[in-house]
């Protein structure tokens, strides 16, 4: 159940990241939401490694949103250099 909750939080965090960082992304909102899910998953495991979250605990909404924003910024940098 925790991975499902991580995906749900990531979905919302990705949408919020798109709202915070508007712009024309090559993948649109779908890629941004997938980046949000990835940010949530990455921050879940990073937070557990750093001791912020207990084992089995998922990333919080703020952590997932920060992760999504960081991954979205990295994605934009990579896409600009490739184009």
Per-residue pLDDT tens digits for 46-64:
888 888 878 777 667 788 8
In this prediction, residue 1 has a pLDDT band, given cuts at 50, 70 and 90, of low
Would the pLDDT of 83 be above 70? no
Give the helix ranges, DSSP H, for 21-60: 28-50
Q: What is the mean pLDDT of residues 5-23?
A: 78
Would the pLDDT of 78 be above 80? yes
Q: What is the mean pLDDT of residues 7-33?
A: 76
What pLDDT, on the 0 to 100 scale, is given for residue 11?
A: 80
- Contact between 64 and 43 under an 8 Å Cβ cutoff? The reply is yes
Cβ neighbours of residue 20 under 8 Å, at least 6 residues apart? 65, 69
Within 13 A of 75's CA, how many CA atoms are on the CB side? 24
Q: Is 16 helix (H, G, I), strand (E, B) or coil?
A: helix
Rg (CA), the chain: 13
What pLDDT, on the 0 to 100 scale, is given for residue 37?
A: 81
Would the pLDDT of 34 be above 80? yes
């Amino acid at each position: 159940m925790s991975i499902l909750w991580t995906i749900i939080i990531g979905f919302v965090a990705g949408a919020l990241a798109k709202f915070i960082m508007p712009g024309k992304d090559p993948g649109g909102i779908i890629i941004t939401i997938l980046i949000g899910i990835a940010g949530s998953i990455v921050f879940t495991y990073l937070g557990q490694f750093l001791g912020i979250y207990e084992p089995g605990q998922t990333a919080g909404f703020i952590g997932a949103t920060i992760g999504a924003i960081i991954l979205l910024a990295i994605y934009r940098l990579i896409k600009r250099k490739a184009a």
